[in-house]
């Protein structure tokens, strides 16, 4: 009898060992809509590496860049909600269509500098905003970065708010951005990113607005002559996960996902900030005419946007962000 029990114990231990030894790793699909040279992709590669290390190879990330899974960010977020893709790196702009409170970070001239950004988004305010995404079936893992956005166009140099009047500017599908450009007298035109280069090339739109890294890596200088360093919006990025998929993960894997997301985000931010001055120099060498407008004039011209949204986002939250030190 004792011998029989030992045999059963051996068989149980061997089968259990075999399950853990030969279990297939979890493979997650991550998508974004920009090129493999863009910071989102740099961050995604770092995230995949960190996650593989933290889970000892038990979570593998397959990355689909350049809009392979969806042409625009809104479309890829919809796929994330329905489980067609597991992870997405996106700007916050389209996320406002799913969770309106997220758009508070897109108010014009809200952030002073990179240090202010990090204090807000890596602190209590940022983590509270991430938690609100769960209502839309999305797990917000961490804030990454797109950067301070600047304005390009093919018509004229921009030095004053009046210079923006009448320009047809591509914006994200983001009502705060749209209202901000209307306040400047522009004609904001929401458009999926995959359509923008051709629209600029064909003169369907006059300009667009993006951080320096996007303007350089996606060769916007080929179809735009003028660059104004307005820094009108700070554009955070988000790494998002399908909430049902996240909730099914073991506790230690959930911890690894969140840790790897924040660590990769800091790596991605440093990559952007370290390379921005070099990229701006290259844009000048490539023929772009660069101006540095007085931001205080643009800030004053967009004050009406704050009045419109202070009830929706909460004046206290806006002031808390502004006053974070």
Does residue 186 register a pLDDT over 60?
yes
**Which backbone phi and psi does 38 adopt, to 5 degrees?**
-80, 155
pTM: 0.85
CB 154 within 8 A of CB 224: yes
Does residue 278 register a pLDDT over 70?
yes
For the residues of 54-72, what is the DSSP string, one character each?
HTTTSEEEEEE-TTSS-SS
Average pLDDT over the chain reads 92
Does residue 14 fall inside a structural domain?
no
Angle at 12 between CA 10 and CA 15, to 5 degrees: 105
Of 100-104, 264-268, 277-281, which range is least confident?
A: 100-104
Please give the Cα distance from 144 to 131 (Å, whole number).
Answer: 15
Does residue 6 fall inside a structural domain?
no
Does residue 16 fall inside a structural domain?
no
Please give the Cα distance from 1 to 73 (Å, whole number).
Answer: 65
Does residue 293 fall inside a structural domain?
yes
Range of the domain at 209: 25-322
Residue 93, pLDDT score: 83
* Structure confidence at residue 75 as a pLDDT band (50, 70, 90): very high
Does residue 173 register a pLDDT over 50?
yes
Residue 16, pLDDT score: 44
* Structure confidence at residue 162 as a pLDDT band (50, 70, 90): very high
**Contacts of residue 18, Cβ cutoff 8 Å, sequence gap at least 6:** none
> Pairing relation of β-strands 226-228 and 289-291?
parallel
Does residue 122 register a pLDDT over 80?
yes
Does residue 83 fall inside a structural domain?
yes
Q: Across residues 103-129, what is the average pLDDT?
A: 96
Q: Across residues 289-308, what is the average pLDDT?
A: 97
Total of domains in the chain: 1
Instruction: Lay out the sheet containing 168-171: strands in order across.
Output: 187-190, 168-171, 207-210, 150-153, 226-228, 289-291
SS3 225: coil
Tell me the CATH number at 211.
Answer: 3.40.190.170
DSSP structural state of residue 24? P
Residue 22, pLDDT score: 42
* Structure confidence at residue 7 as a pLDDT band (50, 70, 90): very low
42-53 pLDDT, tens digit each: 999 999 999 999
Evaluate the CA torsion angle 199, 103, 110, 34 in order and state its sign: negative
Does residue 17 fall inside a structural domain?
no
Does residue 21 register a pLDDT over 70?
no
Does residue 1 fall inside a structural domain?
no
Range list of H helices, the chain: 2-22, 39-54, 73-82, 114-121, 124-132, 175-183, 196-201, 212-217, 243-247, 251-285, 295-301, 303-313, 315-322
Does residue 12 fall inside a structural domain?
no
């Amino acid at each position: 009898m004792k011998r029989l029990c030992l045999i059963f114990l051996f068989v149980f231990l061997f089968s259990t060992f075999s399950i853990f030894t030969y279990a297939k790793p979890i493979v997650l699909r991550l998508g974004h809509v920009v090129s493999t040279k863009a910071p989102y992709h740099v961050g995604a590669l770092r995230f995949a590496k960190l996650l593989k290390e933290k889970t000892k190879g038990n979570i593998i990330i397959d990355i689909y860049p350049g809009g392979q899974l969806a042409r625009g960010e809104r479309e890829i977020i919809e796929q994330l909600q329905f489980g067609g893709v597991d992870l997405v790196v996106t700007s916050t702009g389209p996320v406002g269509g799913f969770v309106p409170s997220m758009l508070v970070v897109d108010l014009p001239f809200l952030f002073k500098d990179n240090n202010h950004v990090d204090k807000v988004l890596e602190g209590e305010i940022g983590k509270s905003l991430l938690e609100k995404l769960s209502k839309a079936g999305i797990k917000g893992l961490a804030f990454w970065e797109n950067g301070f956005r600047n304005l390009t166009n093919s018509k004229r140099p921009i030095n004053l708010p009046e210079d923006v009047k009448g320009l047809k500017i591509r914006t994200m599908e983001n009502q705060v951005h749209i209202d901000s450009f209307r306040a400047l007298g522009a004609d904001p035109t929401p458009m999926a990113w995959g359509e923008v280069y051709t629209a600029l090339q064909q003169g369907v739109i006059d300009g667009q607005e993006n951080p320096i890294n996007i303007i350089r890596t996606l060769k916007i200088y080929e179809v735009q002559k003028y660059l104004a360093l307005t820094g009108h919006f700070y554009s955070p990025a988000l790494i998002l996960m399908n909430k049902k998929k996240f909730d099914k993960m073991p506790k230690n894997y959930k911890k690894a996902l969140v840790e790897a997301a924040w660590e990769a985000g800091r790596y991605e931010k440093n990559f952007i900030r370290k390379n921005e001055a070099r990229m701006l120099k290259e844009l000048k060498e490539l023929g772009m005419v660069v101006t540095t407008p007085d931001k205080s004039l643009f800030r004053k011209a967009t004050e009406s946007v704050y009045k419109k949204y202070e009830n929706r986002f909460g004046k206290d939250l806006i002031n808390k962000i502004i006053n974070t030190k």
